[in-house]
């Protein structure tokens, strides 16, 4: 039987994916321990890691969870991985998307096709639907505005989220991540033009042109709690392009907080 390797990052996604597989091989970048047992590997020894996966009967690979770019130690490169250094460094200097595309290419050159999380757990990527609450017309306009902003910034390889209230962008996700963005939005909620008007929308979407087999944006119950603390009206995202972890708990949290959850088609 062909096995699946889970390249596990941090957060709740890797445990959910691993639990859905029979006899997965779970590995993780050294320094980014996931919430499940995993064998650590270093990017400087990528080729021996690929050989190990093949030796374990792995026939496909799925990336699950958050990682940051590792710091590379030139002294740790083995001779075969060293031949890939120009490709790896060039891709890392070109941004996250380019680095991820190069990683996918290298895995597939070794006969290890990369699949998306939705190939294993399709229910984690909701299609168009309102899952909780009901966005107002103003909320829908804010979501449209947020989607347009992310369409424009995707080519710049920035984050996958933003907060828009009353047509104004209050915050844009960058390297510090979603929680930092929502904290910033909370601290600046007073910038809304009409204090009694629309409270704002947290919107998520993949970057334009992103390879959707890897690094899809992720939402979950924590996202709902963070959006509630920021005083927002709800969360919207691109249907079919965002992972929703623990849907039942996220919906329940949204209903308690009076937020809407909308997979925008």
DSSP run (H or E) holding 146: helix 137-153
pLDDT along the chain (265 residues), means of 10: 92 95 96 94 94 96 86 89 85 73 91 95 96 98 97 86 97 93 94 93 91 90 97 97 96 98 97
Give pLDDT, residue 72: 82
CA distance 99 to 95: 6
Which residue is associated with the tokens 């902003």? 149
Cα-Cα-Cα-Cα torsion 33, 34, 36, 40, nearest 10 degrees, comes to -40
What is the C-alpha to C-alpha distance for residues 203 and 187, in angstroms, rounded to an integer?
Answer: 18
- Give the span between the Cα atoms of 26 and 88, in whole angstroms: 22
Nearest alpha-carbon partner for 45 in 70, 25, 65 = 70
Express the helix, strand and coil content of the chain in percent, nearest 5 each. 40, 20, 35
Q: Please give the model's pTM, rounded to 2 decimal places.
A: 0.89
Is residue 116 within 8 A of residue 178, CB to CB? The reply is: no
pLDDT at residue number 232 = 98
């Amino acid at each position: 039987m062909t096995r699946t390797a889970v390249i596990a990052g941090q957060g709740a996604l890797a445990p959910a994916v691993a639990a859905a597989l029979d006899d997965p091989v779970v590995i993780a970048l050294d320094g980014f321990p996931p919430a499940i047992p995993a064998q650590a590997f270093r990017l400087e020894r990528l080729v021996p890691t690929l050989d190990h996966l093949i030796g374990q009967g792995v026939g496909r690979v799925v990336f699950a969870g958050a990682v940051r770019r590792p710091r590379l130690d030139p002294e740790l490169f083995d001779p075969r991985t060293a031949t890939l250094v120009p490709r790896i460094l060039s891709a890392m200097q070109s941004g996250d998307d380019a680095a991820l595309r190069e990683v996918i290419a290298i895995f597939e050159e070794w006969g290890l096709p990369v699949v998306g999380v939705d190939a294993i757990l399709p229910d984690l990527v909701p299609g168009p639907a309102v899952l909780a609450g009901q966005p107002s017309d103003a909320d829908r306009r804010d979501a449209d505005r947020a989607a347009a902003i992310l369409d424009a910034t995707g080519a710049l390889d920035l984050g996958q989220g933003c907060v828009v209230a009353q047509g104004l962008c209050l915050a844009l996700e960058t390297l510090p991540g979603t929680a930092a963005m929502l904290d910033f939005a909370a601290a600046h909620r007073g910038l809304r033009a009409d204090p009694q008007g629309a409270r704002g929308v947290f919107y998520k979407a993949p970057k334009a042109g992103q390879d959707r087999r890897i690094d899809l944006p992720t939402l979950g119950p924590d996202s709902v709690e963070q959006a509630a603390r920021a005083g927002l009206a709800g969360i919207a995202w691109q249907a079919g392009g965002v992972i929703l972890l623990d849907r039942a708990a996220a919906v329940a949290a949204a209903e308690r907080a009076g937020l809407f959850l909308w997979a925008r088609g």
